[in-house]
Amino acid sequence: MEKREDGRDWAYRVDPYGFERPEDFDYASYEAFFSRYLVVLTRRAIKWSKLLKGNNSVQKSLKVKRYIRKGIPNEHRALIWMIVSGAQANMEQNPGYYHRLLEGEKNDKLVEAIKTDMNRTFPDNVKFRKTADPCLQHTLYNVLVAYGHHNKAVGYCQGMNFIAGYLILITKNEEESFWLLDALIGRILPDYYSPAMLGLKTDQEVLGELVKMKVPAVAELMERHGVMWTLVVSRWFICLFIDILPVETVLRIWDSLFYEGSKIIFRVALTLIKQHQAFILEATNFPDICDKFKQITKGTFVTECHSFMQKIFTDPGSLSMATINKLRETCREKVLSQG
C-alpha cells in the first residue's frame, strides 16, 4: 500500500466516505475524539438494534426523536432517513416513476447544466473520480436529471449536486437518493432552490432576526459594518453545511433535519454564532467579519459531533416552528419589497 513520508498509508488519508483528508489534517486530535466517539457509537448501535428488532420500520415518537438526536448508526441511516422524511412512502406509492423519468424526454439545457457541474462535485472524494469503479458521477447525473424533470419549477441549481452526492454516499441507492432529494427540496427546505430563491433569501433574513433576539451584540456588529447575512451564511443554507462542517457532523445534523425539519438549520447556525460570540466581536471591519465566520466552522468544537449536537438543542434556547413561520412571513414580505 502506498505510503507517505509521514508513514500514513493511503487508506488512512481517505475517510470512510471517500473524502481525502487535507494536508494539514490534525490526526492526533481526531484520533483522540474518535476513540471516545466510538464508545458512543457502539452504545447507540445496540440501542437502535433493540428499537428496530430486525424489523425495518419505526413510528414517529418522542423516543425515536430522542434517539435520532443522539445519532443514527450509519448502517441504519438510509432506512431511517427514508422513513421519517416520508421519502419511503412516496417511493412505494410511485413504483417505477423514477425509472420512467430517466427514460423520458430530456431538456437539453438542464442536462448540459448538470454535466457542467459533474467534475466540480467533490473533487476531493475518490468515489466521484472518473477513474473510480463504480464511478458515482454516473449515479449523481441520473439522480439530478430525474429530479430536474420531476420538479420543473426548480430544474437544477448549484448546491443540489452536493446534497445529492451526500445522499448517494449514504444510501448507496439511486432511487432512494432521488426520493430523499425530493423530501429535502420539495418539503423540508421551502423554496430554497427555485430560480428566485425566495425561501433561501427569506430564511437568511429569519436567521438575522433570530440573532437579534438571541445574540444581539453580533447582530449589532453586522449592522454597524453593513455586512449582509447572505454574505456569510448563504452556503450554510444552500449546501446544508456540506464542505463547511466535518462530514460526520453534517450527517448528524441531517439525521435531525429529516425528522424535525428546517428549524435544525437555524439551531446549528445560532449555536455556531453564540458559541463564538466573543471571537466574532473581535472583528473591526467588513473583511474581518467575513473571515471570522469562516473560522467558526473549523476546530474541535465542530469536530466533536456528539457534544456539538447536544449544544444545538440547548444553546439557542427554545425555537419553535411557530416562531420561525411567523418570522418567515414578515421576512418574506421584506425580501419581496426589496425584489
pLDDT band at 11 (very low <50, low <70, confident <90, very high): low
Give pLDDT, residue 10: 54
Give pLDDT, residue 12: 73
Residues 236-255 have pLDDT tens digits of 999 999 999 999 999 999 99
Residue whose C-alpha cell is 425530493:
182
Rounded CA separation 77/84 (Å)? 11
Residues 190-234 have pLDDT tens digits of 899 988 999 999 999 999 999 999 999 999 999 999 999 999 999
Phi-psi region of 127 (alpha: psi -120 to 50; beta: other; left: phi over 0): alpha
Euclidean distance between the first and the last CA atom of the chain, given in angstroms as a whole number:
57
Architecture of domain 86-188: Orthogonal Bundle (1.10)
Rounded CA separation 73/44 (Å)? 7
Q: Does residue 235 contact residue 244 with C-beta atoms inside 8 Å?
A: yes
pLDDT band at 54 (very low <50, low <70, confident <90, very high): confident
Rounded CA separation 259/269 (Å)? 18
Give pLDDT, residue 24: 86
Residues 140-176 have pLDDT tens digits of 999 999 999 999 999 999 899 999 999 999 999 999 9
Segment (H or E) for 111: helix 108-118
Q: Domain-by-domain residue ranges, the chain?
A: 86-188, 198-338
pLDDT band at 109 (very low <50, low <70, confident <90, very high): very high
CATH number for region 198-338? 1.10.472.80
Q: What CA–CA distances, in Å, run from 164 to 87, 159, 172, 217?
A: 14, 9, 11, 37
Q: Does residue 318 contact residue 270 with C-beta atoms inside 8 Å?
A: no
Residues 271-307 have pLDDT tens digits of 999 999 999 999 999 999 999 999 999 999 999 999 9
The angle at the Cα of 114, spanning 111 to 204, to the nearest 5 degrees, equals 130
> 296 exposed, middle or buried (CB, 10 Å; 0-12, 13-18, 19+)?
middle
Helix (H, G, I), strand (E, B) or coil at 3: strand
pTM of the model: 0.95
